[in-house]
Structure 1
Amino acid sequence: MYKAQLERIQEKLDKLQALDPEKNLFGAENHQYEMAPICTLDEIKAFERKWKIELPEEYQAFLLVIGSGGTGPYYGLEKPEDGIYLVIDYGDELNAISEPFPHVESWNWDVDWYDDSKEEEEWAALEHEYYDPKWSAGMLRISDFGCGVKGLSYGEIWTDDRANSNGIYPDHYMGNTERLGFLDWYELWLDRSINELNEVL
């Protein structure tokens, strides 16, 4: 079903790597244009059973054909098993990925985070509630962009930007106005990256 797009993506991946031998593209120093090994269908099904989720078909297709992590937008793609954790680089708190995603539209609190009138305890309680995993339930983290993360909310790419007090919203970081599925999002990143490198050459 996704054969033609996956073939296109692989060709663009090869082209991108050839255009950037010095790894100057943002994030390339991190992912080194390397992909983690592809998943088998059995591995995907075992992951889904373990976490009581069903990965979107196009994301599964990518895992089966292109790779399970590595080269990708921002600092690169995370492996599915790393995306279950709430906080990047801290494997001690799980996100509630099997719970329903609570948002249909962009979500944030209308809070003045620079309000000096609140006591320290009040701020601590507010922050604790703001970062509660219930707000990002149903998201599988797939990419790190510094102070935030990109995640799959059944089939759509969303941004958890609470670290910048910007809430959770459909991803529009690459100039897209529509909500994107995984493959279109990834291919858009490839196209923009190739154009960026061609402009430098």
Structure 2
Amino acid sequence: MNAQMWVGVRERVQALAGTPGAVQVFGFHGHGFRLEDPLTPQELAALEERLGVRLPEDYRAFLLHVGAGGAGPAYGVFPVQRGEDGEWEWDGDGGDMASLDRMTELFPVDRPREEALAAHESECPDEDDFDDPDAYDAAYEAWDERDPLWSDDLTVGAICLCHLGCALRRWLVVSGPDRGRMWDDRRADGIDLQPMSNADGSPMTFADWYLTWLEEAERQARDTVATH
């Protein structure tokens, strides 16, 4: 079933590259509707062995039948590949935020309480309290490093798959009760990660996220051509 949902998707994405209206789709100048080659079954097996988890079925089928990454929502899906050192990595702005050694840990659906976040904010150093600019910078850096929103403990069991610009990102949960669900990361705006949902309120899976984007990109490209 998961393989079936991706039948023809690679061809649809590639067809968009030659559509005059495609240039109007957000992210076009970043990915140009190009897709990486799919992973081989052997490569996928090696990746999952490294992570210690089986990836969500729709995402693993995407990797096998559509591509290892490339064209997709916003600036595209981070390609998963082996780096020069032979280690697997998701290549993109934030792709290295995922801790490969902690993929088996359960992604925390219970997030930091507002009180904890407010308490941290209240401890922010005031520059007016420092005579030495260097001392202020050191105090601020130490405070910033304690920010509970940016603790690696909050993203264990998840993969960073996409960025929207301005340090805003999307994550796919691979371990825990929300396995297979997409989460929205707006910590750059001081907002904790939030689970993503479809229009009907159901949890948004990787396939929901990607195929909704593809349908919208096709519609936008088509409508742009029709109005010119």
Judge conservation of contact 2:52–2:104 (CA < 8 Å) in 1. yes
Instruction: Give the structure with the higher percent helix.
Output: 2
Q: Which has the larger radius of gyration?
A: 2
Matched, 1:83 2:102: no
Matched, 1:119 2:119: no
Return the TM-score normalized by structure 2. 0.72
Q: Deviations over 1:62-108 (max 9, x none)?
A: 111110010101110112343399x727x59836323110116xx46
> Residues 74 and 175 of structure 1: is their aligned pair in 2 closer, same or farther, counting only changes over 3 Å?
farther
Percent identity of the aligned residues? 23
Matched, 1:136 2:155: yes
Counterpart residue type for residue 196 of structure 2: D
Judge conservation of contact 2:78–2:91 (CA < 8 Å) in 1. no
SS of the residue aligned with 1:82?
Answer: strand
Alpha-carbon deviation of 1:39? 0.4
Alpha-carbon deviation of 1:176? 6.4
Q: Distance in 2 between matches of 1:93 and 1:67?
A: 20
What residue number does 2:176 align with? Answer: none
* Larger deviation, residues 73-82 vs 62-71: 73-82
Q: Distance in 1 between matches of 2:224 and 2:38?
A: 32
What residue number does 2:57 align with? Answer: 57
Q: Distance in 1 between matches of 2:145 and 2:3?
A: 49
Matched, 1:102 2:108: yes
What residue number does 2:28 align with? Answer: 28
Q: Distance in 2 between matches of 1:175 and 1:165?
A: 25
Judge conservation of contact 2:79–2:91 (CA < 8 Å) in 1. no
> Residues 21 and 70 of structure 1: is their aligned pair in 2 closer, same or farther, counting only changes over 3 Å?
same
Matched, 1:186 2:210: yes
Unpaired segments ≥5 residues, structure 2: 81-87, 127-138, 174-178
What residue number does 1:71 align with? Answer: 71
Q: Distance in 2 between matches of 1:67 and 1:99?
A: 27
Alpha-carbon deviation of 1:2? 2.7
SS of the residue aligned with 2:24?
Answer: coil
- The one of 171, 181, 203 equivalent to 1:151 is 171
Q: Distance in 2 between matches of 1:151 and 1:92?
A: 10
Return the TM-score normalized by structure 1. 0.81
Alpha-carbon deviation of 1:149? 1.7
> Residues 141 and 200 of structure 1: is their aligned pair in 2 closer, same or farther, counting only changes over 3 Å?
same
